[in-house]
Structure 1
Amino acid sequence: MKILVTGAKGFVGKNLIAELKNRNYGYIFEYSRKTDPSLLDEYCKEADFVFHLAGVNRPKDQSEFMDGNYGFTSTLLKKLKEHQNTCPILISSSIQAELSNPYGKSKKAGEDLLFEYRKETGSTVFVYRLPNIFGKWCKPNYNSAVATFCYNVAHELPINVNDPSVLMNLVYIDNVVEEFINALNRKANIIGDYCKVPVVHKITLGEIVDLIYSFKSSRDERSIPNMSDSFTKKLYSTYLSYLPKDKFSYDLKMNVDQRGSFTEFIKTQDRGQVSVNISKPGITKGNHWHHTKNEKFLVVSGNGVIRFRKIDKDEILEYFVSGDKLEVVDIPTGYTHNIENLGDSDMVTIMWANEYFNPAKPDTYFMEV
């Protein structure tokens, strides 16, 4: 199948083409502003499906709205008709087509061209009236508040929110791409004359800003956002894509002494805490027990032994552990326990606890194994 994508270098186009290639759609005609215009004729002759994503969002003069959103659509359809190519066409329109502003009028005019083309040729057309789209590769400080907020917060630049109570209707780029590929495979979500991306997120501008700032502070707090919330998960992925190139990494606070070190890595509200423990050769750590707090130990480098004793018994249990054979050892409640490095190099242990450390209620009681 030969696929023509106009607006190939734009936000939606880049994401769509990347996923088409992931799915082994290898014959893709990529048309953008920098493409030799003469190639459009050849592409329109050969295409088996057209994703018409090209358009104008922020022109220098408002007259360019009609030229870009109506004029180029007219040119595209004319060339398809010249070659008697009635392949399906998908156009990315906007919910603003319902409005009477210059942008909305130009998008509505483009839609009407498609519907008239369908009557003339019998071609299948998919008209998507899209709300605000967010995700990676969207141009900040252009026409997306989410992209602008993510970029500015990540780069420690100020943002301006006139009315935080404004309700936003948002679709995520991956959901858009998935729906577009469904249309390619004749499984579009069609409602009346129009098609829609089925997953729409409704959230206020203020809530979006609060989330983005929480993502920034999560590095200092060593926390992870609530990934069980679909929108938060998608917005966090979007935010990370705007990190400055020299800010991908961040330091952790290492608690170092003569025995080694202990470093908190990740904390979550409902899934506990992950830490990294490094023990020097011959060092034993632990010798304590918990009422309710429980842990999992995973030695990833070095060799050692984890010992247990029920606090009211004399029997000692030993589990020998090594980075050569990864295995998780659960630390049950009511057992005092320790971990000893038996090797001649540092032993590295990943430790998970079901809650993060609360100095006011540590639930940790010293007792030798």
Structure 2
Amino acid sequence: MFLPEGSQDEMGTVVKNRATVFEMFRRTAEKRNYTEISTPLVEYADTFTNEKVGMKLQNMLKWFDGRGQIEVLRPDWTTSIARALSQKPFRACKWAYQGSVFRMDTPGLENRQVGIEMVDLPELLGEGECLFFAHDFFNRLGVTGVMVELGHAGIFEELVARLNLEDGQVDRLRGAMHDKRKDEVFEIASLSGNAKIAAELAGLVDAYGSFEMIRTFQERWKTEPALSDMLIHIEKLGKICMAVGMEDIMIDLGRVKNLPYYTGILFRGFLKQTGASCFSGGRYDMLYEQFHRQTTAVGIAFDADMLAEELAQEEKPEKICIIAGEETLAEAEKLRAAYGGKIVDIRFAPPAEGEFNKVLKFKNVSGHWEAEEI
């Protein structure tokens, strides 16, 4: 039988490295006083498709249950955890999870994640902890060369709120901004008749680069209290991170939220060598409103599959094959103990050439079994 498109079997190094990612994540979370949480793999679709979350049903793996309601494989950890925490009282503020999400709009149907969610913490404390955790986690994994990008969902929302655009036009504008299509951003924003704001939004397409960019826009927006406050918040978070050794920090003031529930700081991590995204997250206070709770909330999700690929290959121990037979099977097992720290396999037939570093075979010497290299 063949697998569905997007599914795949895995074996060997990638499975081992992913287990290492999970274990290092668990150790990091334990040392930083997190409580582990797990949610069901199967949820109702409307938990994720309502206006507060805004995920698209066509991107989910779904089916109808016996009562005609749509069920889905978990497409998002953050929303699932918010649902779980809102259903029962809790004291812990810091939560850690690991497991898969299933989406049809990403390469492969299954994406394995590890991540953290923080609820009811002061803004800067929660956001700083997200990035401190990432720094700690990467150090434990031995992953280096990670670039952190900071943005703010409110910048786009603040400017767009001043335009008289229909919902569909705003969605198009957000997509153009996300894809850095500057001319299209200006064209859509200009439909409102406000050329000044249209030019401001188009300019944000190029507003990414070094941390020093904040200074430029602080001067530019000095008469804009709402936008200035967002810049101050980004700058404060960035300086705190640099103070603990996170030197590679970029700014993207044109970053837009990929899900409606993000409301404030946005962050992503990139591997400088390949440009691959290894984590993302941000603030999502509004998400809990669908569960009738007012709170602060921020989180970060790490791509466990990507990190598993990045782990340095360990120096492999010597591989030894002992060729035995029924008479020498016990002798072979006892001989294994003499090669502690090495990989030892017992075979009844010679292995393929080059499969092992050393191959041993028993011979009878004066009534005793001795192993010799062949």
TM superposition score normalised by structure 2: 0.24
Write 1 or 2 for the structure with the bigger share of helix.
2
TM-score by length of 1: 0.25
Query: Which structure's CA Rg is the greater one?
Result: 1
